Structure 1
Amino acid sequence: MASENTVSNTEQSQHSPELRIVLIGGRELHGKPSRRSATGNTILGKNVFDTSTRTAQSVAGQQEVHGRQVTVVDTPGWWWHYPRENTPLLDQLEIKNSVYLCPPEPHAFLLVIPFGSVFPEIFKKSLEEHLQLFHKTVFDHTIVLFSASTPCSHERLNKYISKWAALRWLLQQCGNRNHVLDVQNRLDSTQVITLFRKIEDMVAKNGGRKYKVDRATEETVEKLKAFGNRAANRFAQVQTQRMEFKALTEGGLTPPAHLRLVMVGAQWSAKSSAGNTILRKHTFAVDYGRTTSRCKIGHGTVAQRQLTVVDSPGWFYNQSLQDTSEMDKLEIEYSMCLCPPGPHAVLLVVGLSSAFNASNQRALEEHMSLFKDEVWSHTVVLFTRGDWLGVKTVEERIESNRRLQWLVEKCGNRYHVLDNQKGGDENQVTELLEKVEEMLKANRGSVYEVDLGRAEQLEARKQAQEQMAQRNMQRVQRQKRVLRELFRGEAQSLNDMRIVLVGRTESGKSMAGNRIIFAELFQTSLMKKEFQVQRRTTACEKHQKNVAGIDLTVVESPGWVVTNETANAPDWLQSEVLRSVSMCAPGPHAFLFVISISTRFTKKDKEAIEELLMPLKERVWRHCMVLFTWGDWLGDRSIEEHIVSEGEALRWLVDKCGSRYHVISSHRFGDGFPVIALFQKIIDMVTQNRGRHFTTEEKQKKQQKPVLPWLARKSTLTEEEWNRREEQLIKRMLKAIAVDPEEPTKPSMTKMGSFDGTFVPSMSGDISSEVGSVHWSHGACAKVSEWLSQRIGSSDITSGFGSMGSSASYVEKMDVLSIVEGNLQPADRFAQEISMLDTVHPTKALMDRGTQRRNSF
């Protein structure tokens, strides 16, 4: 204590009488709370800022601390993984407004980074864009503050900084000014005093100059005021509109006893969580990753109303309709058919945790075109993640975004905010249902009627695809068993494995390469078409690693870009694919065509692959396999269903590769099995190729003595010709087996794991990132190492085929029993209707009802 007093007394004679500080920084996507507010409380020595809720508005706190009058401004955080265009304009303006809250200007910006957190290259890009909200001299007034929850030594700090190149860059921009603050230890006043010293030293080195507040800051304040005024006007208009709708009750229109709701929206919009909040029970699966790959139905009784809620698969949040897989489009359109004769309301779910920008609007508008134009008159915009608003109103958010204005006006100014964190609050659900009933009154009780013919077509298509997928699965299993017998005991012994990755941009090549080699060596991006300036891979990239005595070599070739006109595969790209062969001399064992399940494989992709492989001749296909990435997107569907539904182009590629395919999840770091299964399939393919790897060199045609004497009288055949005839014989045999009826055996398959639901990755190699390096599981790598050491040289062939998807064919079933929960007893009519929905197919129910409308019950 004596030493602390000595420091304080010395400081009182030298320190500045006043310090003005602005806290800035981002938020991680993994659910970790921001430490900026806690940092501000530690500096001020008291709880000024609320750490339990998100800071949505810049707020200032003042306190006398160690003889100084200290002002600290806490600001909203941006997502570290996102560019600035994904940050809501309201948040951007509040961040800019922060310097106005500590007049005349701040002495310092403290860029708060949780100690020990990841800091990949993509964080640097996000930081650069967000700091453009301030004057270009902001780095001259910034100190990097590492917020810690435990004491941190200089050795630990240096080791942490050395891991991240982007962090070293940041410190260099800030003149290597940094400080560590233990926010859990407020009793240690020395750490705060030392921070104040560093701020004063920085101001002195700047010649006493403080950060300059320019005219743009004052304009920011005016914008915020304007948004507030317009928000008040919109709220008043909505309330007037609601009163007019309620007045229609006097005309004899009573709300139905049973409401049918269909939820549509982008992936990661918290759609399934919203369904659970509405039904007030856990009906729809909510987990990290994609849990809704097929339409699901839930029933319940809430606020004296019987409800049927349909959850549909979400589209990728910024992906065009053209790039959405055929299976997803089919399921989204089919959602309207599951509550005949049609839903009373469509809930269009939009998350508030990020900006609704141009790409989001385009994706939403295009996917809503899957329905009839009349859908908009039956749609309510359901804003989720209401906690993100903080002290702001949803009207302010709408008025600050012209695209949101377009959306709510497209829906007749009908919108509602749901906070899924407050699932026990029935009032927010009751108000939503009241708004739905008011819309029904405005629509004179009409529902969104499903086209009967179209519904029947969708159902027939779904059934046909499921049956075809099941047949294909059985065929592949039969072929697998035959090949197992043909090559029993002939497995090749490999001391190395050489792989070439081929695929379009953002297909997952880099991430797949890292999974295969069990190291973060290929540069990857966590985003999908997010940053405007992207690093395009224009040359092959090669990495090697020894695992369990086996030398693994992986070469990633550049990807082609698919546009509306063509798949761009220029001459230089063809040359790079040729070069990839020489980079893994004497030749690759496998070419893996990397295809993302979340994106449609088009005819243009097929043409690009054909063009790229043309110089390698037809024999290259003996060494090819399809590697599907982003297996999480399958959900409970099998990969065979995906292949069938995608159409002719993908089926052609799979057939061209001899029905060899595999699925991996690029974010399942803790399980080595998917990689082991991939290695086994590559070994099986090498075995089928008699141990030969691919080469572009023409081998000397070696004479081979005929096995049977009578063949001596025939023309002498080369080894290459014998091999060719053998392959033709195998192909003819497999083709014959494919049409031979046989009882299916249960395939060895596992359901894909899922990944962080708030994590929106792009598996392209366009932007460098080391973020995955901290996630690689040593246990998974050890599992692969053990398998390689025991199996790679001695195993019999097990399978050159198969999938990692779910094998069961899916039949949507409604849970009738779940509608009775606790003391809630549904009305008899509701129970009868649900029973009918469960036992009669939706299309059949539509046909039975004909075109009759049901306005009330």
Structure 2
Amino acid sequence: MAEAPDVSNPGQRDVPPDLRIVLIGGSELNGCPSGKSSAGNIILGQSVFDTSRRTAQSEARQQEVLSRHVTVVDTPGWWWIYTLQHTTKLDQIEIQKSVHLCPPGPHAFLLVIPNDLYLYPYVQPSLKQHLDLFSADVFSHTIVLFTAAAPCRDENIEFRIKRSPTLQWILQQCGNRKHVLNIRDREDRAQVKMLFEKIDAMLADNRGRHYSVDGAHGNALREEMKVWAEGASKRFDQVQKQRKELRALIEGGKIPPEHFRLVIIGPRRSAKSSAGNTILGKMPFDINNGGRRTTCCKISHSLVADRRLTVVDSPGWIFNHTLQETSEMDKVEIENSMNLCPPGPHAVLLGIELSTAVNATDLRSVQEHMSLFSEEIWKHTIVLFARGDWLGVKTVEERIESDEGLQWMVNKCENRYHVLNNKDHSDKTQVEELLDKIEEMWAGNENPYYEVDPSRAAEIEAKKEAGDKKAKRIKEITGRQSRVLKELFEDTKQSVTDMKIILVGQKCSGKSMTGNMILFNERFDLNFDISRLQKDIQDQRRPAACVKHEGRFDGVKVTVVETPGWFRDTTPPDWIKEEVSHGVSMCAPGPHVVLLVVPVLTSFTEKDLKDLVEVLRPFTDRVWRHCMVLFTMGDFLNERPVEDYIVREGRSIQELLEKCGNRYHLLNYWHFGDPAPIKELFQNIIDLVTRNKGCFTTKDKQRTFQKLPQQKTMTEEEWNRREQQLIERVMKALEKEPEKQTVPSMKVAHSMDEGHIPDLSGDVASEFGSISELRTQRAHDQVSEWLMTKVRQTEISSGIGSVCSSAAYMESLNESRLMAENQTTNRCFLEKSKVVSPHMSFFSNTAQMQRRNSC
């Protein structure tokens, strides 16, 4: 990194008697202040900027500081991780207007970054787009200002910079100019003096030039804001006139109900739960719950302003997702929200975020999700802006007039809207005014409430109950199959010292975060959010490369290869397949597992399934034996089991799981750094490796076995295929097992643990060694015998035999042919049993099945 300019002797250069500074920077999604206003107060030595509220418009303040006339302009912040299209037009205009508040132009821009803020890679394009609001040479007039709430050593800053490629890029753009400001120590004027010296040094490097502004551009900005202000005034007058007319109906004798039923719906981050708490005057809905979201509808009651209220909170959808992209689990909950307050809600409060722009994608998302209900819903809807603190000194009408998406929604609701400041619980009038507006809407509607369809409500309830029961059943079956497989392979468990994992999935599926969780380190770039927020259609045509990182866990060397993703609304291009093939070759001799990454925050459609199948097609069907579905973003489920998602998403995800042998695992990103879920994942992978007797390779195994004159030659691959068939029969039998015994067990019925579970060890050459051909053939014989005898005998007590003994099921697997071949070849292998290698003798003990009531 280049050295900072020498400012040890500023007296040698001419410095201007006045100094003009503009503060710029972003904000965090958690609402923590960026420190711009506090930095302005420290620089000027006075509390001239209000730090108790958000800066919603650019403000200029002047003071005499260190014998110089200093002007500081504070500006609205943008979300660090969001692109320019998600910053409101009001904020964009105010940011641009800042340079016109200190004519003829600022000497310096101070890019304010909190010292403890971690800057993800997607901050880089966001910053570049927002600084493009100014002219191209803005970086040449910029110094990075790190704000800290306590003294901060230079070594700490340098350590942060070395660990953050994003910070390195920012500093490189700014000529490596930086300064640290303690915003809690106003008495330390030395830090301000040093800042001025660095500004003077930068000014000298710019040959005394300040940032130049275009007067015409400033006039255009003022005209645009004037138009919005006039439109805002007109809308306000219309609303007041409308409310007066509706209030007259109530005063004229139309008595409103004593009990109002309200439902709150809307996208995520629209503060629905907080709004519900504000309305009810208590905290029945969870907020700030470790970042968890509302996954199920919740209902609460209260007495507010002499009115009985019932409020229903509902899950939110992703603000830019289409209805098709929203999971079936969420869609059912959102639709069912109306049924929780029969015969229907008097008011539907549509929560909308004030702090981000409503672009065409966001508006379409609202329209599609509202289509879950009938068109009548709009007559009972009020747009609820539940983050009123974001407005600052601006009016909500100005915000509406500056955003076409908001205008559409407000007009669709016939000018019904309300603002709640959830941070100000002392202001009771804001809730009373909302209830007045609900009364007025009720008075103006022909139907007093949005009437729900009882038959549809009953259908949804029945669907939910059936889904819950099926989800529980899937969990039981999966656990039972896992226990059986562990018993079958107990004596043949593989020892893996070098685990190779390959991640395959769409963009934004969470592959990078998964890799970081597995390696317990932030090695993969987290750039999925920016690709979600700003999709470049050309991006799909630009090949991306696989990324490989290594680490260690519990004494095991772990290699993770992340393959490039594709946008879900496009077909994976051919280069994706080629790159996935390259990723497999990076795990020589082959990966132990292919993790198919599926995020639970979105739906999984038939197209998603076809895309994954197509990407893996070059590896033939053999690859599916080495695949596992990895559900990511488990925090989105809150406490709901992943089986709920599997059941409600339906056929496509269930077909994918079936292809993968019903192997799946869930990762919750809130557990980053916790070894328990990763250890469980690794154990599942080792079980998979044990069953497959090694890793996946692209080369077919063509070893052949000795044959008798009447026996056809069979490759090792064929033996393994038959072994898999027999195992799959066991798994399918377990799936068909009834939930409860319907007939008491009889004495003649035998439990599976009364005999040996067939040994399924096979003779496979791999990096883990090989086992005898004798054991391979005997495994087939024993499994066949077990399925035909032991399982059939447990027909009454367990229900497995009822499946395995059916004629259709036996014919589909061609059991008679398989048994005949097994009996013929068994004699040959028995003759070879005397020459089995001594060092493989540990496979001779077959697994015993533990007694289980469920079987």
Q: TM-score, normalised by structure 1?
A: 0.82
* Partner residue in 1 for 2:398: 396
Residue of structure 2 in register with 1:239 after alignment? 240
Q: Unpaired segments of 5 or more residues in structure 1? A: 1-6, 706-710, 745-795, 800-857
Matches within 5 A, 1:480-519: 480-519=482-521
Aligned to 1:405: 407
Q: Report what 2:264 is aligned to.
A: 263
Q: Secondary structure at the match of 1:422?
A: coil
Give CA deviations for 1:473-500 in whole Å, capped at 9, x if unaligned.
Answer: 2222222222232222332111111111
Call closer, same or farther: CA 1:182–1:289 in 2, change over 3 Å: closer
> Which residues of 2 match residues 767-846 of structure 1 at below 5 A?
none
Please list the CA deviations of residues 419-439 of structure 1 after superposition, one character each: whole Å capped at 9, or x if unmatched. 111234322111111100100
CA distance in 2, matches of 1:560, 1:13: 55
1:83-122 alignment runs, 5 A limit: 83-122=83-122
Which residue does 1:229 correspond to in 2? 230
Offset from partner CA, 1:166-221 (integer Å, 9 cap, x none):
32222232222222222222222222122222223333332332221112122112
Matched residue, 1:368: 370
Q: For residue 121 of structure 1, report the CA deviation from its aligned partner.
A: 2.6
Percent sequence identity is: 55
Inter-partner Cα distance in structure 2 for 1:660 and 1:465: 20
Equivalent position of 2:283 in the other structure = 282
Which protein, 1 or 2, shows the higher relative CO under an 8 Å CA cutoff with sep ≥ 6?
Answer: 1
Equivalent residue runs for 1:108-187 within 5 Å:
108-187=108-187
Distance 1:106 1:699, change over 3 A: same
The 2-side partners of 1:357 and 1:386 are apart by 20
- Report the Cα offset of residue 798 of structure 1: 14
Partner Cα distance (1:585, 1:798) in 2:
35
The amino acid of 1:132's aligned partner reads D
Residues 400-799 of structure 1: matches in 2 within 5 Å?
400-444=402-446, 446-525=448-527, 526-527=529-530, 529-533=532-536, 538-563=544-569, 568-689=571-692, 691-703=693-705, 717-742=714-739
For the residue of structure 1 that corresponds to 2:50, the secondary structure is coil
Q: Distance in 2 between matches of 1:228 and 1:343?
A: 35
Flag the 1:155–1:733 CA change in 2: closer, same or farther, 3 A: closer
Q: Which residue of 2 aligns with 1:833?
A: none
Is 2:350–2:381's contact at 8 Å kept on the other side of the alignment? yes
Deviations 1:613-648 (A, max 9, x none): 223222222111110011112123221121111111
Provide the C-alpha distance between the structure 1 equivalents of 2:18 and 2:12, rounded to a whole number of angstroms: 12
Match of 2:389, SS? helix
Residue 9 of structure 1 deviates from its aligned partner by 13
* Paired position in structure 2 for 1:334: 336
4+ aligned runs moved over 6 Å, structure 1: 7-13, 796-799
Q: 1:621 to 1:9 in 2, by over 3 A?
A: closer
Q: How does 1:188-337 map to 2 (within 5 A)?
A: 188-214=188-214, 215-286=216-287, 287-337=289-339
- Corresponding pairs, count: 733
C-alpha deviations, 1:813-849, integer Å up to 9, x for none? xxxxxxxxxxxxxxxxxxxxxxxxxxxxxxxxxxxxx
Give the distance between the partners of 1:471 and 1:546, measured in 2 at CA: 36
User: Given residue 267 of structure 1, which amino acid in structure 2 is its aligned partner?
Assistant: R
Task: Give the deviation of 1:13 after TM superposition.
Answer: 11
Contact persistence 2:547–2:563 (CA under 8 A) = yes
- Structure 1 residue 139 displacement after superposition: 1.9
Instruction: Report the CA distance between 1:445 and its aligned residue.
Output: 5.2
Q: Distance in 2 between matches of 1:18 and 1:323?
A: 55
1:364-423 deviation per Cα after TM superposition (whole angstroms, max 9, x unaligned): 111011110011111000001111111111111111112111110110100000111123
Distance 1:572 1:561, change over 3 A: same
Does 415-424 or 192-201 show the bigger shift? Answer: 192-201
Q: Distance in 1 between matches of 2:472 and 2:154?
A: 60
Cα gap change, 1:361 to 1:797, in 2 (>3 Å): farther
What one-letter code is carried by the residue in structure 2 that aligns with 1:378? H
Structure 1 window deviating more from structure 2 (252-261 vs 108-117): it is: 108-117
Secondary structure of the residue that 1:392 maps to in structure 2? coil
Give, in whole Å, the separation in 2 of the partners of 1:578 and 1:523: 21
1:95-142 superposed Cα distances (whole Å, 9 cap, x missing partner): 111122222322221111222422333222111111111122222222
Larger radius of gyration: 2
Q: What is the rounded CA distance, in whole Å, between the counterparts of 1:335 and 1:666 in structure 2?
A: 28
Over residues 297-350 of structure 1, what are the superposed CA-to-partner deviations in whole Å (9 max), with x where a residue is unaligned?
A: 111111111111111111111111111111111111111111111110100001
Taking a change above 3 Å as real, the CA distance of residues 623 and 224 of structure 1, as seen in their structure-2 partners, is: same
Q: Give, in angstroms, the shift of residue 232 of structure 1.
A: 1.9
- CA change 1:13–1:200 in 2 (3 A) is closer
CA distance change for structure 1 residues 237 and 686 in 2, over 3 Å: closer, same or farther?
same
Gap runs ≥5 in structure 2: 1-6, 742-845, 850-855
Distance apart, 1:222 and its partner CA: 2.3
Contact preservation (8 Å) 1:147, 1:182: yes
Separation of aligned partners in 2, 1:291 and 1:561: 25
Amino acid at match of 2:209: R
Partner of 1:63: 63
Asked if the contact 1:44/1:70 (under 8 Å) is kept, the reply is yes
Alignment partners' CA distance in 2, 1:198 and 1:734: 71
TM-score normalised by structure 2 residue count? 0.82
Contact (CA 8 Å) 1:491, 1:797: kept in 2 or not? no
**Structure-2 separation of matches of 1:712 and 1:487:** 33
CA RMSD in angstroms comes to 2.5
2-side partners of 1:588 and 1:88: how far apart?
A: 47
1:538 Cα shift?
2.7
Contact 2:702 2:716 in 1 (8 A): no
Distance of 1:231 and 1:547 partners within structure 2: 60
For the 8 Å contact 2:520–2:673, the answer to whether it is kept is no
Q: Are the aligned partners of 2:500 and 2:592 in contact in 1 as well (CA < 8 Å)?
A: yes
Distance 1:395 1:12, change over 3 A: farther
Q: How big is each residue's C-alpha offset from its partner over 1:670-693, in whole Å with a ceiling of 9 and x where there is no partner?
A: 42222111111111111222x321
* Residue matched to 1:836: none
Contact 1:24 1:112 in 2 (8 A): yes
Give the partner amino acid of 2:690: T
Tell me the amino acid that sits aligned with residue 404 of structure 2: R
Tell me: CA distance 1:366–1:680, structure 2 relative to 1, closer, same or farther (3 Å). Answer: same
Q: How far does residue 163 in structure 1 lie from its aligned partner after superposition?
A: 2.2
- Distance 1:231-1:626 versus aligned 2 partners, 3 A rule: same
